[in-house]
Amino acid sequence: MPAGKAPIGAPNPADKDFMKRSEQQQRENLQPQRPRCELHDYSLPGIPTTPLVWLADEACGTRVGVLPAAGGEITSLQIRRRSAWHELLHRAMNYEAWPCEAAEERAPLLWPAVGRSFTAEQTGDWGKIGIPPLQNRYKLNGTTYNIDVHGFARKLPWRLDGSGTTETTAYARCTLSSSVDTLKIYPFNFELSVTYRVSGGRIALEYEVLAGENPFLMPFSIGNHLSLRIPFTGKGQFAECTLRSPGSLILHQNPLCLLSGESTSVDLSRPTSLDRKDLLDTVVGGFERDQVWLELRDPSSLRLRIVQRELNVDGKFRASEEDFFFVFWGDTAAGYFCPEPWIGKPNSLNTGEGCIRLESGQRFLWEISLEPGFG
C-alpha cells in the first residue's frame, strides 16, 4: 500500500491510539470532557514526517483531521451515528501522491482563482480554431502569468501555526505566506490562513486573507472543493439522497467551463434528488447574502448543512452579494458529490468579475460551516 494511503472509510493507522481512547470512553460511559486536540506524526508521499491534527468533540460526535502540509486541507470528516463513526469525506486519508491531481483531492482551498483562467487572446483563439487552451493564464498590468486551474494554494505545504482547546472548542490554525515562488505566479505579498474549529457539533473553517505591501490592489476569488461520500454511510442509493437550497439561478457554462452570461431560474427550496443531471455539473447562484447554504440529506443516515458567509471586517463587506455561489460536481458511479462554496467567478483574474480586491494591510474573512443533523 503506498505511503499515506488508507482504505476509504477505514481508520487511519496514525490514529489508532485516538480511536482506542474514544472507544474506551464510550465503553466506560464516562462523561465526555471538553473537546480534544491531538497531534500525530503522518507520512505524506515525499514528506516522511508531518503533523496530523485531530480535533474532536466526543459529546456531539464530530471529528476532523487536518494535514497542514497537504495544502492545509481537511483530510477526514467523521460523524458519529448510533455509536458508530462514519467517514463523510470522499478519498479521506487517501494520499497516493503529493501534490495531488485535482481528481484525487478531498477539500482543498481554491485560491487566488476559482475555476479556469484564460486571457482574451486565448478565448479569441479558441473562437477561431475551436481548440481549448492547454494552459491556464491571466494578464495583470500588462504581464501574463501561468496559473493552475483553481490557483495554487491547494498544492503548497502550509505551516501549523497553533492548535489546542478551550472549554467549548478544539481548534487548529494553518497558514500559507507569499514566497519567491508564489511571486512568480501571483505578484502579491499575502498571508493566507485557515482556522478549523470543532464545537457543539459544528465544524467551522474560517479563512483569512491579509494583503501585504503591494503596489496594486490584490485581486482574488476563493472557494473550497469539498468532496463528500454519497450516500454518507455507504448504504442506500445515490438517487435517494437529496439537496435543497435557497439558490434560485443556474448559471450556464460555455465549452471552456467559463460562465456564458446566461442563466435560468431553478427552485431548490424542496428536497430534490442528487441524481438530476443538471445538478452534477452546474453553478448555482441567486442567493441573499445571509442565506447562502445548502442541505444534503441521506435518508438512511443523516443530513449535512453547508453554510458560507463573509465575516464583517471593520464594518465592511468586500464581496458582492451576487458573487456567492455553490458549484456542484458529482459522479453517481464513484459515489461522491462536491457542493463547492465559491465567492467569485471562473476567470475572475482576467475579467475582474467577482474579484475581491484588497489594499495593502486589508483583510478578508470567509467562513464555511458544516452542520450535521439527524432525522
pLDDT for residue 2: 41
- Tens digit of each residue's pLDDT (9 = 90 or more) over 90-142: 999 989 888 887 667 799 999 999 999 999 999 999 999 999 999 999 999 99
Which cell numbers hold the place of 313?
Answer: 471586517
CA distance linking residue 227 with residue 92, whole number of Å = 9
- Report the chain's terminal Cα–Cα distance, integer Å: 38
* Ordered domains of the chain (ranges, CATH): 109-373 (2.70.98.10)
Is residue 246 classed exposed, middle or buried when 0-12, 13-18 and 19+ CB atoms within 10 A define those classes? middle
- Tens digit of each residue's pLDDT (9 = 90 or more) over 350-365: 999 999 999 999 999 9
Handedness of CA 370, 76, 22, 375 (dihedral sign): positive
Is residue 331 classed exposed, middle or buried when 0-12, 13-18 and 19+ CB atoms within 10 A define those classes? middle
Instruction: Tell which wins on pLDDT, 77 or 21.
Output: 77
Q: CA 279: distance to chain centroid?
A: 18
Strand, helix or coil for residue 372 = strand
CA distance linking residue 299 with residue 237, whole number of Å = 10
CB 67 within 8 Å of CB 91: no
pLDDT at 148 over 90: yes
- Tens digit of each residue's pLDDT (9 = 90 or more) over 244-272: 999 999 999 999 999 999 999 999 999 99
Please give the mean pLDDT across all residues of the chain. Answer: 91
- Tens digit of each residue's pLDDT (9 = 90 or more) over 202-260: 999 999 999 999 999 999 999 999 999 999 988 889 999 999 999 999 999 999 999 99
CA distance linking residue 203 with residue 191, whole number of Å = 23
